[in-house]
Amino acid sequence: MNESPAPAIENDLAQALLPLIAAQPFFKGMSPQQLQLLAGSALEMKFEPGQKFFEAGSPANRFYLILEGKAVLESELAEPGTMLPIQTLGPGDTVGWSWLFPPYLVHLGAHAVEPTRVIFFYGTRLREQCEQDHEFGYELMKRIAEVACQCLSATQQRLAESATQTKSQP
């Protein structure tokens, strides 16, 4: 029985992305086997200015590592459609961490603010691999938890700034 060409194509793509993934500071210190798992769940993508990565409340099943360009994380305010920019991210930053934490829903929206090239990672597949390989899971958890803490800090700071601005307006 012949194998379908899809696994071969997927493997070729993973091998092409492996050096790019291995060169990213976010993945520094991960083993070659762990980097291979990441590459097997990745593909390269581009976003145009204004194009959304995801919206708050949507299923969290992916994350991105920015290679070039910029993206903004934002939160919807009480007035529907009014967005509060939380944090601008650039090369080397990751966008999306909710894929690793139940209930697997996105907490903030994100969109590109300029042409942006990213590595897209299938969070659902990586989560399954984390369950199978706890060492891999721990390495990803440490990195994503750091990003989540930075995001929480940026959100707190931005909300405090917004509250101060609101109080000072007549």
pLDDT confidence tier of residue 169, bands split at 50, 70 and 90: low
Of the candidates 14, 44, 7, 45, the residue with the CA atom closest to the CA atom of residue 32: 14
Task: Evaluate whether residue 39 is within a structural domain.
Answer: no
Is 96 or 166 the better-scoring residue by pLDDT? 96
Long-range contacts of 59-62 (CB under 8 A, 24+ apart): 59/104, 59/105, 59/106, 60/96, 60/98, 60/99, 60/101, 60/104, 60/105, 60/106, 60/123, 61/99, 61/104, 61/122, 61/123, 61/124, 62/96, 62/99, 62/120, 62/121, 62/122, 62/123, 62/124
Instruction: Give the pLDDT confidence of 106-125 residue by residue, as tens digits.
Output: 988 999 999 999 999 999 99
- Is residue 66 domain-resident? yes
**Domain assignment present for 15:** no
Q: Tokens representing 74? A: 């934002």
Where residue 152 falls among pLDDT bands split at 50, 70, 90? confident
Domain for residue 91, yes or no? Answer: yes
3-state secondary structure of 8: helix
Question: What percent of the chain stands above pLDDT 90?
Answer: 64
Residue 2: what pLDDT? Answer: 45
Q: Which residue has the higher pLDDT, 76 or 30?
A: 30
* Residue 65 belongs to a domain: yes
**pLDDT (tens digit per residue) in 37-73:** 999 999 999 999 999 999 999 999 999 999 999 999 9
Residue range of the domain that includes 158: 44-168
Q: Domains in the chain: how many in total?
A: 1
Domain annotation covers residue 72: yes
